[in-house]
Amino acid sequence: MPKPALYFNAATEGFGAELYFLPRGGDKPGSIDLVPGPVGSNPTGFIALKGQIYFSAYAPEHGYELYRLSPGSSKPTLIEIQPGQGSSYPHNFTVYNDQLFFSATTAAAGTELYRLSSQSDTPALIDINPVPSGSRPDIVGSAPRNFLTYKGQLYFTAFTDKSGEELYRISPGSDSPSLIDINPDERSSTPGIFGDFKEYKGQLYFTADSPESGIELYRLSPGRTEPTLIDMTPGAGSSFVSYFSGFVEFGGKLYFAGFSAETGTELFHLDRGRTTPTAIDINQGPAYSSPSHLTVFRGSLYFTASTEEHGTELYRLPRGSTQPILVDINPGSDSSSPLDLIVFKGSLYFSATSEEHGIELYRISPGKTKPTLIDINPGMDSSFPSDFTDSGGKLYFTANSHDFGRELYELSPGSLKPSLIDINVGSADSYPHGYFTL
């Protein structure tokens, strides 16, 4: 049986953007060249099903289609949904009931839902928004997305001409999704419009839009078809006005970024069974702090927020507290703009900016307010670290350096010196991304 490996997309001048893999414990990536020559297959969307890897990739004779790869093999299997050179663009992959569900596009059906068994090379079409067959540029299909498994059923959003974009669910073995119609006409409620979906204390929470209430919070109990409205801003005004990184359960409460006229966009929490959230007003008054990147770490909730005095900085909210603690990385009114928070081996890692070092990697220990700088590109120039992933007990990410361009790096627990894995040798970039471990 092959060793577990880190799979990803990376590019070179000779091969274009192709599939690479780094065996656990190794420092020399191997490549799987789907399209020989400099064009590249640009693989994306990696997901595992029954010990095999599925992904979307390009070939001149097939366009963007679905592929399956067995670990240790160098020859992916093509699963062609739109025959010929036209692409089906498979995306939004999710595994449910030991099958692969995803969205794909054909000339006959538009963008629709598909289901694939691990023993099959022929996906089954689940046509939610049926249209006449034939090559028609105006066909859009149902464009299913936002897949989530909840209480043994698969939930997702999809569009129909009759109902707009609404919430659906499908049961094991069924190819007939059930509609959960929040706006009972052709106007979309666009469930999950901000913050996506979150299961909390056995119920499903999400945002949705209606003419009467605006964009508000909803709660759905298992098996029910009528969500409960949690109307934080009574009337047609919305309680959510911008994207945030999602709902987070912490200390037995549900935390999220919401809006009110009195507080602006601030941090809110909701207790189980309650319909009145409580605001934690970081930027006092109607000014926004726009909290985002909510991450639970060692008994505290970490997140980013903005004030006029400190800019956008990192905050820590201890369990049971209503007073966030500022972690001021870039002192003064200039922002450090922390991004890509990830918990790894007892520390919280993220990127942040300072005038002295540019955008670099930082690590903070539990309960501390002074992060440790991991300076990949010494001096004021940034390394722009991103795409963090934990694989085989090491932290992998992408970063820039003067001498090697944008490449793959590996960091061991507790270390301040990431190791370079130079795929496009020299100063040229390989732009590695889409990390996935199997």
Taking only the tens place, the pLDDT of each residue in 241-270 is 888 888 999 999 999 999 999 999 999 999
Q: Is the pLDDT of residue 138 over 70?
A: no
Tokens (6 digits) for 5: 């490996």
Distance CA 354, CA 336 (A): 6
Q: Is the pLDDT of residue 290 over 80?
A: yes
Q: Is the full-model pTM beyond 0.85? A: yes
Question: Tell me: the pLDDT tens digits for 192-227?
Answer: 999 889 999 999 999 999 999 999 999 999 999 999
Confidence of residue 140 (pLDDT cuts 50, 70, 90): confident
Tokens (6 digits) for 101: 């569900």
Average pLDDT over residues 101-111: 94
C-alpha count within 13 angstroms, C-beta hemisphere, residue 114:
27
Confidence of residue 135 (pLDDT cuts 50, 70, 90): low
Question: Tell me: the pLDDT tens digits for 323-338?
Answer: 999 999 999 999 999 9
Confidence of residue 3 (pLDDT cuts 50, 70, 90): confident
Neighbours of 370 (CB within 10 A): 11
Instruction: State the DSSP H helix or E strand holding residue 351, giving kind and residue range, or none if neither.
Output: strand 347-354
Q: Is the pLDDT of residue 137 over 60?
A: no
Average pLDDT over residues 277-300: 94
Top-confidence residue, 78 or 233: 78
Q: Is the pLDDT of residue 38 over 80?
A: yes
Q: Is the pLDDT of residue 133 over 50?
A: no
pLDDT value of position 373 = 97
Amino acid at 114: Y
Tokens (6 digits) for 335: 């922002």
Please choose, from the candidates 310, 246, 240, the residue with its C-alpha nearest in 3D space to the C-alpha of residue 282. 310
pLDDT value of position 245 = 84
Q: Tokens 């369990």 map to which residue?
A: 319
Q: Is the pLDDT of residue 185 over 90?
A: no
Question: Domains in the chain, ordered, with CATH?
Answer: 252-336 (no CATH), 338-438 (2.40.10)
pLDDT value of position 63 = 96
Tokens (6 digits) for 146: 């936002």
At residue 233's C-alpha, the angle toward residues 227 and 236, to 5°, is 80
Tokens (6 digits) for 23: 């065996």
Contact 218, 239 (CB under 8 A): no
Query: In the predicted model, what is the mean pLDDT of the chain?
Result: 94
C-alpha count within 13 angstroms, C-beta hemisphere, residue 257:
25
Percent of the chain clearing pLDDT 70 (strictly above): 98
Question: Tell me: the pLDDT tens digits for 362-420?
Answer: 999 998 889 999 999 998 999 999 999 999 999 999 999 989 999 999 999 999 999 99
Average pLDDT over residues 311-318: 97
C-alpha count within 13 angstroms, C-beta hemisphere, residue 23:
9
pLDDT value of position 139 = 58
406 forms beta bridges with 400
